[in-house]
Amino acid sequence: MISRYFWQTKPRRYRERPDDPQAHKVYTMERAIIGSCIGAHVDEDDLQAIANHACRKWRVAKVEVVVKGMGTALFGECDHEIRLNKDWHGDNVPVLVHELAHWIASEIWGDDNIEAHGPEWAQVYRVLLNDYKVLPYECSAVLFDKYEVRYEEDIKPPRKVEVAATEE
């Protein structure tokens, strides 16, 4: 059996969900982004190090990264855990960044106060894409605009969150 990456299969028809109106726009945009990340192998320890760094930088609780054989990435099924597909190899970095954006946004604003792929999540996602060298910040603005994904440059979290300086 020939293994295919998910974006090489027939495009999935995402249902419009009233609670998450931009989900299909985000996933379509990510198909364009992830294609440029093929080939880099990142092991589970490195993925956990990325998650630890992001949580430290945004001053939120740590999350555990679990790499298993499964169909999709999951956030929210288990407390403090992000599950990634072991067969995605290097594609797990952009997927981890997506899931980390959910974790950080939910820790800052709370799940009930924001859309899953709303402007708050999108802004955190843009910063993480840049921080972990998936997509430069300026380029993400162009892509988000092209795919009509709403984001806000100057989002103020409801509680004071000071992003810690990046350690070099």
Q: Is the pLDDT of residue 32 over 90?
A: no
DSSP E strands in 23-73: the ranges are 64-68
Q: Give 26-146's CATH code, choosing from 3.10.450, 3.30.2010, 1.10.1330, 3.40.50.
A: 3.30.2010
- Residue 133 is predicted with a pLDDT of 84
Q: What is the pTM of this model?
A: 0.73
Task: Report domain extents, the chain.
Answer: 26-146
Q: How confident is the model at residue 112 (pLDDT cuts 50, 70, 90)?
A: confident
**155-167 confidence digits (pLDDT tens):** 766 655 555 554 5
Q: Is the pLDDT of residue 137 over 70?
A: yes
Q: State how far the Cα of 104 lies from the Cα of 62, in Å rounded to an integer.
A: 10
Measured in whole angstroms, the distance separating CA 136 from the mean position of its chain's CA atoms is 14
Q: State how far the Cα of 140 lies from the Cα of 114, in Å rounded to an integer.
A: 21
How high is the mean pLDDT of the chain?
77
Q: Token match 């409801």: residue?
A: 158
**43-101 confidence digits (pLDDT tens):** 889 899 999 999 999 999 999 998 887 655 566 556 788 888 777 655 778 889 999 99
Q: Is the pLDDT of residue 39 over 70?
A: no
Mean pLDDT for the stretch of residues 22-45: 72
